[in-house]
């Protein structure tokens, strides 16, 4: 289908500019009408005013300003400028929706508590199309609750414990292949390869040496490139690249699905071998099996969410440990003690071992405070309500930024300092640290991410030393934190090997 569409576009190359111009004019007019519609003053209806702010341009609003700040890792600048001008609660217009930004922690608490009452989970059009109509991430209300129950069972600690040996084996082999004997590595792609290998193995038993692994991984990169892009599905656009990446991944998942169904029919694989096996054994509430489309859309979701967010966090951890040797020393001491208790390096880690890595986990939390993998989330207003002295109209979008509280000195003194001790004891105040979201849509895979990062860093710190080639290397957001030079690291073998 993609090939046929491409040919059609080539055959009509001469008429494309004219039609594109007409489409652009129509889009601008429609955007202007919506802008006028949502600009109706509630005061004229005897209500509280909408929050102050600017919609700027029809249709586009302040989208380009926001994306520019995001890609330069300056999202805080976007919010701080508007907070200084309008106050903590303000309106803007991004990603084709009139939008309100609310401050943490009160705004976070309000949104999480009122999910499916006043607000519902919302994705921009480009993201919804790429996720797919059957994806759990696009479901709301009771549909989301039912879908989430299936995946929560897979990711709960009781289920994850059995997968720790597989993660351990992957971490050992990956470090041996990508770190052993190297003087320089690109840390970003290196850790991404590991987290993708874990996701591919645990979710659909696709091994690193399988001929389909590399094409599947490359398609996942293309898929990510389309997230949070202007949804123009034309050749050469980032969004088109994302659509093609989605289609390529679905073909691999479909082949694996057919193979797994046959293997299960013949009794050659256990019912809990991986996420795909679990889904094939799952019945909907009406007693019918999950459809192939349901399984494929959700396999795609968890492969995406299960490796990109983890790789971003792991790359950030390598950076901050490199820049903070006193913290790295404490992590090393903790991991040495765990190895000593186990009686040697040949004994694989267990689930209980990862629960002992308390200081290491605090360094991961502090990394997620400074460099959260997911920068923001959206909720659509399903019932008009009043908040902070303003009317929030039905149909608008609520945009909450993780970083608005994570770097706020009121909640985290000296916020630019890397300080894992912030998470000792009871840790930060409620609703100020939200790297995994909250409410009904809190990330179901947070324990999975925690486990794979802890296992990986255990073997890394015991066997290798690393430092950033450029300690000032920038990070851009597209749509997750990415190092602009791919995190160039200088590597040395740790002697003696611990």
Q: DSSP of 24-40, one letter per residue? A: HHHHHHHHHHHHHHHT-
Listed residue (497, 486, 496) closest to 185, CA to CA: 486
pLDDT at residue 18 is higher than 60:
no
What's the pLDDT score for residue 26? 55
Q: Is residue 349 part of a domain?
A: yes
Neighbours of 141 (CB within 10 A): 13
Residues 232, 354, single domain; the answer is yes
Residues 384, 364, single domain; the answer is no
Residues 87, 186, single domain; the answer is no
Domain that holds residue 283: 144-372+443-493
Residues 220, 341, single domain; the answer is yes
Residues 124, 233, single domain; the answer is no
φ, ψ of residue 378 to 5 degrees: the values are: -125, 145
* Dist CA 275 CA 151 (whole Å): 8
Q: Is residue 253 part of a domain?
A: yes
Q: Give pLDDT tens digits for 241-287.
A: 999 999 999 999 999 999 999 999 888 988 888 999 999 998 887 88
Q: Domains in the chain: how many in total?
A: 2
**How much of the chain, in percent, has pLDDT values that exceed 70?**
90
Average pLDDT over residues 290-317: 94
- Bridge partners of 167, per DSSP, are none
Structure tokens at 431: 């609703």
What CATH number should be reported for the domain holding residue 60?
3.30.43.20
Residues 293, 316, single domain; the answer is yes
What's the pLDDT score for residue 9? 31
Cα 79 to chain centroid, rounded: 21
Q: Is residue 408 part of a domain?
A: no
pLDDT at residue 16 is higher than 50:
no
Residues 196, 343, single domain; the answer is yes
pLDDT at residue 29 is higher than 70:
no
Q: Is residue 498 part of a domain?
A: no
Residues 68, 149, single domain; the answer is no
Does the pTM surpass 0.85? The reply is: yes
What CATH number should be reported for the domain holding residue 301?
1.10.630.10
Q: Is residue 415 part of a domain?
A: no
pLDDT at residue 1 is higher than 50:
no
Residues 148, 135, single domain; the answer is no
Q: Is residue 363 part of a domain?
A: yes
Quick one: which H or E segment has residue 284?
A: none
Q: Is residue 419 part of a domain?
A: no
Q: Is residue 284 part of a domain?
A: yes
Residues 94, 121, single domain; the answer is yes
* Dist CA 145 CA 130 (whole Å): 21
What's the pLDDT score for residue 402? 83
What's the pLDDT score for residue 244? 97
The DSSP code for 417 is S
pLDDT band at 30 (very low <50, low <70, confident <90, very high): low
Q: Is 476 annotated as a binding residue?
A: no
pLDDT at residue 40 is higher than 60:
no
pLDDT band at 91 (very low <50, low <70, confident <90, very high): very high
Q: Which of 42-56, 116-130, 313-327 has the highest mean pLDDT?
A: 313-327
Q: Give pLDDT tens digits for 179-215.
A: 999 999 999 999 999 999 999 999 999 999 999 999 9
pLDDT band at 104 (very low <50, low <70, confident <90, very high): confident
Beta carbons of 2 and 247 less than 8 angstroms apart = yes
Average pLDDT over residues 313-342: 97
Residues 300, 359, single domain; the answer is yes
Residues 367, 381, single domain; the answer is no
pLDDT band at 314 (very low <50, low <70, confident <90, very high): very high
What is the chain's mean pLDDT, rounded?
88
């Amino acid at each position: 289908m993609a090939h046929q569409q491409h040919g059609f576009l080539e055959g009509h190359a001469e008429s494309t500019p004219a039609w594109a111009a007409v489409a652009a004019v129509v889009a601008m007019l429609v955007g202007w009408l919506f802008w006028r519609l949502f600009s109706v003053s509630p005061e004229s209806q005897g209500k509280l005013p909408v929050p102050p702010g600017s919609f700027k341009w029809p249709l586009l609003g302040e989208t380009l300003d926001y994306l520019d700040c995001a890609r330069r890792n300056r999202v805080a600048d976007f919010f701080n400028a508007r907070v200084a001008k309008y106050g903590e609660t303000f309106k803007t217009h991004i990603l084709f929706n009139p939008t309100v930004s609310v401050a943490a922690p009160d705004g976070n608490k309000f949104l999480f508590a009122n999910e499916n009452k006043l607000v519902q989970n919302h994705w921009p059009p480009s993201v919804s199309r790429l996720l797919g109509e059957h994806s759990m991430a696009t479901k709301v209300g009771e549909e989301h609750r039912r879908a989430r129950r299936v995946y929560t069972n897979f990711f709960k600690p009781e289920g994850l414990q059995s997968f720790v040996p597989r993660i351990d084996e992957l971490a050992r082999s990956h470090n041996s292949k990508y770190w052993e004997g190297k003087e320089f590595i690109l840390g970003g792609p290196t850790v991404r390869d590991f987290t993708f290998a874990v996701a591919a193995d645990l979710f659909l038993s696709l091994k690193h040496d399988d001929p389909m692994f590399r094409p599947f991984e490359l398609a996942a990169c293309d898929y990510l490139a389309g997230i949070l892009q202007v949804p123009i599905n034309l050749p050469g656009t980032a969004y088109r690249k994302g659509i093609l990446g989605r289609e390529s991944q679905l073909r691999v998942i479909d082949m694996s699905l057919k193979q797994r169904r046959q293997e299960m029919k013949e009794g050659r694989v256990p019912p809990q071998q991986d996420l795909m096996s679990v889904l094939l054994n799952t019945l909907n509430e009406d007693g019918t099996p999950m459809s192939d489309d349901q399984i494929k859309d959700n396999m795609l979701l968890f492969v995406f969410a299960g490796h990109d967010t983890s790789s971003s966090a792991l790359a950030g951890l390598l950076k901050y440990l490199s820049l903070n040797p006193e913290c790295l020393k404490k992590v090393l001491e903790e991991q040495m003690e765990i190895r000593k208790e186990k009686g040697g390096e040949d004994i694989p880690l267990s689930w209980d071992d990862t629960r002992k890595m308390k200081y290491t986990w605090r360094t991961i939390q502090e990394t997620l405070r400074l460099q959260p993998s997911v920068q923001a989330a959206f909720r659509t207003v399903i019932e008009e309500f009043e908040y902070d002295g303003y009317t929030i109209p039905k149909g608008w979008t609520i945009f909450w930024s993780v970083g608005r509280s994570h770097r706020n000195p009121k909640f985290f003194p000296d916020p630019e300092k890397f300080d894992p001790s912030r998470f000792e004891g009871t840790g930060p105040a409620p609703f100020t640290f939200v790297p995994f979201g909250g409410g009904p849509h809190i990330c179901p895979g947070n324990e999975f991410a925690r486990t794979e990062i802890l296992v990986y860093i255990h073997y890394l710190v015991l066997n290798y030393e690393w430092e950033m080639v450029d300690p000032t290397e920038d990070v851009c957001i597209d749509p997750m934190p990415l190092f602009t030079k791919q995190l160039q690291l200088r590597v040395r073998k740790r002697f003696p090997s611990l």
